[in-house]
Amino acid sequence: MLLARQEAAPALLSAGKHTPCLASVQGGCQPRMPPMPLRYALSNGLTVVFEEQHAAKVAAFQVWVKVGSADERPDQAGLAHLHEHMLFKGTERRGPGEIARDVEAHGGEINAWTSFDQTVYHIVIASQFARTGLDILGDAVRRSAFDADELAREREVVCEEIKRSQDTPSRRASRDLFSTAYAVHPYRHPVIGTEESVRSFTREKVLEFYHRYYSPKNLVLSVVGDLKEAELRGWVEEIFGGDWGRPFEGLNPRVQEPAVTGRRLLLRQDDVKEAYLHVGFGIPQAEHPDVPALDVLAMLAGQGDSSRLALEVKRKRSLVNDIHASAYTPRDPGLFTASLTLPPANLASALDETARVLAELRTQPVPAEELATVKALIEAEAVYQRETVQGLARKLGYYQSSMDGLEAEARYYEAVARLTPEDVRAVAERYLRFEHAVLTGLLPRGTAFDEAQARDILDRALHEAPTLRGDRRPRKTVVEPPMRIGRASSVSAAKVVEERLPSGARLLIREERAVPLFAVRAVFPGGLRYETAADNGITTLLGRTLTRGTPSHDAEEISHLIDAYAGSLSGQGGRNSVGLRGEFLSRHFEPAFRLFADCLLNPSFPEAEVKRERGLMLQDILTREDKPSGLAFELFNKTLFRSHPYRMPSLGETASVEKLGPAALSAWHSAHMDPSQLTLSVVGDVKADEVVALAREFFGATKGRAGAPPQISLEAPPEAPRQEKRILSRAQAHLVLGFQGARVSDPWRHSLEVLSTLLSGQGGRLFIELRDKRSMAYSVSSFSVEGVDPGYFAIYMGTSPEKLDAALAGIRTELERVRDEPVPEAELARAKQHLIGTHEIGLQRNGARAALIALDACYGLGQENFLHYAERVAAVTAEDVRAAARRVIDFNQSALSIVGP
């Protein structure tokens, strides 16, 4: 689908209160679609798109404003994004902070994002509160107050967000790419603006933008969920209807980018530990007929483990830490990009190999079976999109607002279905023009690679025929009739079926018919908790290599089979467990389950694969400083825990990881991943008796090599406050302040979760006091992280260095308040309802339910523990919260980590 193509481009492109997590959605090719969603227009011009979806008692509302940062005048840089912040800051009816509190009090989530071409505001909420959610969203979009004092504070928050982006190498690299690829077009400027431009915005300038663009004729309301058409029509007319007094005058014309006449290169050295390289080519806008072929080309080139670039540049030659290709097609002409992160010593070789792979796509038609696999993946994504109401609402909103109507989706699928290998080769030849390439790189200081070397490599790709690789094996193609997409008519009342296998393995099955998908999750006790300083990192390495080879299949074959079954399969290593997760189309249930079982039971840990993944882990360890917020949490864990395994980083340390090899992985797997130790959950469109039969076949017998769990001593709380600081030259300081917390089995963990929610979220005390009122941070939140042994409760904040002392004092004040003062009943009710609502929203996906069922059973919490979450949270009292706060918040037993200047 074009939505992901437009929004999966580098990090600069969108900005929001929280960066959305974007799925890699490719659309579909002639799947059996449900009937066309409802579409109609109000008399004032506002367009409504709606689809009933009753798989869960949830509704999603999104308002798509057809204006983005590329529509701003030069003196308005960042103004579209500032509106995204200000619309939740109060209306004629709701004061500052009330919008977020009102949504959270009804168990919902509210957020927004801004891109070059649109600004989107969205709410997900339980359907019983749908009318309230729609009213809140309509009030914010229609009657925002833009209070002058709130505007002044929010300008400071956005400036903190800008500083945060300056501390992120991937965002700096993205800015370089777009500022180089576009000479005059507004896509060259960051969506978020600059500190100088943001500080210049007055209330008058904000209102001018608002009145011009926030008009019904420039809006699309997208609704999906557990609603009926008649009631929705009445609500929409009442909330969004009538004359808003803001006639739409149209968008400002954009400056058009001139035709490219040569290459554009920018390589610059920076304070980074690895190189960030982008190779880009100009491509058309979203509505161009070549876009379906460009999307397929991007998938073939660099999306997924079996793509050409991933296989050739990363897996076979170990030249990069990561590589990805995307076709970014917004409203105006976009970019086809290959993005690499890599050790600087490999720059020349990696660029040469990347160019060779792209050149081969220009000159050689892809094999028919390879193209067929990509088409099947595109088709399958039409199913995956339907797992959540918010994902489906996003698709409908995008097509209606950006592609001139919902019908464009079907046309897109049809175009993909018609593509031939020659069509894909022709589009590659048309656009992957090395004489017009854009090359940008953010390089570690002292890197020898320069523009002259880069030009030589691009010249060779232009003038020399690529050397064709003879070691590419044909893919397995699964040819089947078009699938059903699925449209649930009622909420599933499925129960968890439990089966104990002769080996002792515990099998848990929940049949769900909403969409033709299934998720499978295998969990074993272990993870970081079973590690020592000598083998720290082994769980992560094992998770990365479980799917890298078995006696039956090598790594490349496994990657191809995963694609053939239109699914995903990956190992998982956590703090308390280790295992394997998979999601597939249900029509591939048996072969996909067999592949899952083979990887779980029989990993061969090939030397070459282990060496490659170990090298990538060592590179990740080396580049920790490029992610200062993550570094702050690692430092916090080392500060709070001195002897318990929770003190160690999940990635491990250089000395321990360097010693890990196939023998160590095989021994660990035998000792801790025997079927006798297994908890296996399967959730989705399956038949329980078929699942049981296959599970008995593969997991019914123990291998007899299981080891005893290690004896782990509990860690005593700190006897005095502990503090550690890591000096880094960054725009922001990142701090984590926390205390020992709860176990997963502690009854009072729910009280601690409520406490965390009181403090966190957009309606929480920390957000309101430190972000909204005092503009100290873009990001501030609290965390309750439970473990099999006591975990931690902590506050994280990123702020300007000069605000650090005041920020710490503010955090301490809020923690003291919640510890020493009774929580008002209204605030308590809001926090509890928010927890319950977000829990239900998060359970829409089969994979989420499978994970909770498996982990809860593994930790001894019961097979249907997740079904009782709401009642346990609802039972928490104000005194319970205060007791949990007193139990945890003791500044004499605290740990503080600071990373920054």
* pLDDT (tens digit per residue) in 347-400: 999 999 999 999 999 999 999 999 998 988 888 887 888 889 999 999 999 999
Q: Output the six-digit token pair for 835.
A: 């927890």
Q: What is the pLDDT of residue 17?
A: 36
Model pLDDT, residue 467: 66
CB 219 within 8 A of CB 141: yes
> Does residue 469 have a pLDDT over 80?
no
Q: Indicate the range of 208-217, 481-490, 671-680 predicted with least confidence.
A: 481-490
Backbone angles phi, psi at 441, to 5 degrees: -150, 135
Contact criterion met (CB below 8 Å) for 254 and 151: no
CB-count burial class (<10 Å; 0-12, 13-18, 19+) for 554: middle
- Distance (Å, whole) CA 113 – CA 192: 11
- The alpha carbon of 166 is separated from its chain's Cα centroid by a whole number of angstroms, namely 20
Say whether both 504 and 406 belong to one domain.
Answer: no
> Alpha-carbon torsion 253, 255, 260, 265, what sign?
negative
The answer on 848 and 737 residing in a single domain is yes
Amino acid 33: pLDDT: 55
**440 lies in the same domain as 557:** no
Domain final residue pick, 463, 489, 519? 463
pLDDT one-digit tens code per residue, 726-782:
988 887 888 999 999 999 999 999 999 999 998 987 778 887 777 767 777 777 888
Q: How far is residue 361 from each of residues 315, 440, 474, 560, measured CA to CA in Å?
A: 19, 22, 16, 19
- Among residues 228, 281, 637, 222, the alpha carbon closest in space to that of 428 is found at 281
The three-class DSSP label of residue 637 is helix
Residues 154 and 189 in one domain: yes
Domain-located, residue 473: no
Average pLDDT over residues 104-121: 91
- Are 311 and 453 in a shared domain? yes
Do 806 and 889 lie in one domain? The reply is: yes
CA 301 to centroid of chain Cα atoms: 22
Is the model more confident about 173 or about 386? 173
Residues in contact with 446: Cβ distance below 8 Å, sequence separation at least 6, in sequence order: 269
Mean of the per-residue pLDDT values of the chain:
88
Final residue of a structural domain among 190, 205, 240: 240
Residue 246 lies in a domain: no
Q: Is residue 485 part of a domain?
A: no
Whether 440 maps to a domain, the answer reads yes
Q: What percent of the chain has pLDDT over 90?
A: 66
Lowest average pLDDT, out of 527-541, 672-686, 735-749, 856-870, goes to 856-870
Mean pLDDT of the region 688-710: 92
Give the least confident one: 291-295, 619-623, 760-764, 855-859: 760-764
Q: Are residues 235 and 368 in the same domain?
A: no
Kindly report which listed range (241-250, 837-846, 859-868) carries the lowest average pLDDT score: 859-868
Looking at residue 611, its pLDDT comes to 94
Instruction: Say what the pLDDT of residue 21 is.
Output: 28
**What total number of domains does the chain contain?**
4
Q: Is position 481 within any domain?
A: no
Give the pLDDT of residue 472.
59
**226 and 281: one domain?**
no
Interval 482-518: pLDDT, tens: 444 444 433 345 688 899 999 999 999 999 888 899 9
pLDDT-derived band at 90, boundaries 50, 70, 90: confident
The verdict on 195 and 336 lying in the same domain is no
List the domain range (segments joined by +) for residue 79. Answer: 38-240
Q: Tell me, what's the pLDDT at 593?
A: 96
Residue closest to 218 by CA, chosen among 117, 290, 85: 117
Same domain, 412 and 510: no
Asked, for residue 344, whether it belongs to a domain, the answer is yes
The answer to whether residue 296 scores a pLDDT higher than 90 is yes
Q: Is the pLDDT of residue 40 over 80?
A: yes
214: closest CA among 305, 118, 281?
118
- Dihedral of alpha carbons 778, 341, 379, 690, sign: negative
C-beta separation of 558 from 606 below 8 A: no
**CB of 595 closer than 8 Å to CB of 568:** no
Residue 501 CA to residue 699 CA, distance in Å, equals 7
The answer to whether position 472 is within a domain reads: no
Residue 33 lies in a domain: no
Candidates 745, 761, 753, 672; CA nearest to 708 is 672
Show Cβ contacts of residue 867 under 8 Å, excluding neighbours closer than 6 positions: none
Comparing 119-133, 254-268, 454-468, 650-664, the range with the smallest average pLDDT is 454-468
CA–CA gap between residue 369 and residue 312 (Å, rounded): 19
CA dist 592 and 683 (Å) reads 14
Q: Which helix (H) or strand (E) holds 270?
A: strand 264-270
Last residue of a domain, one of 439, 463, 487: 463
**Residue 22: pLDDT over 70:** no
DSSP label at residue 134: H
C-alpha dist (Å) from residue 832 to 43, 120, 559, 791? 40, 27, 43, 21
Output the six-digit token pair for 160.
Answer: 């903190």
On whether both 404 and 328 belong to a single domain, the answer is yes
Contact present, 266 and 180 (Cβ < 8 Å): yes
pLDDT at 153: 86
Q: What are phi and psi of 221, to 5 degrees?
A: -100, 120
Domain with residue 755: its CATH number is: 3.30.830.10
Domain co-membership, 547 together with 586: yes
